[in-house]
């Protein structure tokens, strides 16, 4: 995996929380819900953001994030970052598109700057920001 890093976040209303893939942690407040799931792929050495995307994440009734599709999507997102492709996992297409509220967008912008350094959000091109808000991805 080298220099590529990946971070995941869930939204719970107007609150954002960092989570790990294959986590054993339970999310009782999110149990039985579908929540926005944000993926940020970046270079570890410089913390330069390579891509951001968001999709729905299903939290089971026990509060666990154990959806097989999320794991497939995570592997696909990492492959896209490493090899510059923009393949999509077709099985995610049947899920409703996630739209962030204005307050969630602001929270995400602030979290990006907090986690990746001041100005990290500003360094993302206007085209990629527009793509993110319209398609849920900073790439086509």
Give the sheet arrangement for strand 49-58, strand by strand.
Answer: 15-19, 4-12, 34-43, 49-58
* Domain assignment of residue 103, yes or no: yes
Q: Which two tokens stand for residue 135?
A: 């398609």
What pLDDT, in 10s, does the model give residues 19-72? 987 778 899 999 999 999 999 999 999 999 999 998 888 899 999 887 655 566
* Domain assignment of residue 35, yes or no: yes
Domain total in the chain? 1
* Domain assignment of residue 140, yes or no: no
Q: What is the mean pLDDT of residues 102-115?
A: 96
Judge whether residue 91 has pLDDT over 60: no
Give the per-residue pLDDT at 3.
86
Q: What distance in Å separates the CA atoms of residue 30 and residue 27, rounded to the nearest whole number?
A: 5
- The label of the residue with tokens 């410089």 reads 46
Confidence of residue 98 (pLDDT cuts 50, 70, 90): confident
Q: What is the mean pLDDT of residues 72-100?
A: 61
DSSP 73-104: HHHHHHHHHHH------GGGTTSPPP---HHH
Nearest to 22 by CA among 72, 62, 61: 72
* Domain assignment of residue 127, yes or no: yes
Judge whether residue 111 has pLDDT over 90: yes
* Domain assignment of residue 113, yes or no: yes
Full domain range(s) for residue 92: 4-135
């Amino acid at each position: 995996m080298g220099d590529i890093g990946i971070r995941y976040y869930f939204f719970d209303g107007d609150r954002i929380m960092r989570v790990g893939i294959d986590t054993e942690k339970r999310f009782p407040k999110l149990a039985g819900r579908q929540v926005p799931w944000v993926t940020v792929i970046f270079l570890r050495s410089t913390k330069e953001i390579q891509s951001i995307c968001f999709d729905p994440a299903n939290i089971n009734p026990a509060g666990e994030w154990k959806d097989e599709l999320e794991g497939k999507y995570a592997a696909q997102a990492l492959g896209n970052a490493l090899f510059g492709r923009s393949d999509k996992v077709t099985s995610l297409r049947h899920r409703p598109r996630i739209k962030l509220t204005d307050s969630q967008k602001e929270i995400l912008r602030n979290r990006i700057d907090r986690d990746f350094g001041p100005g990290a959000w500003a360094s993302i091109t206007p085209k990629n920001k527009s793509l993110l808000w319209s398609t849920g991805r900073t790439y086509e």
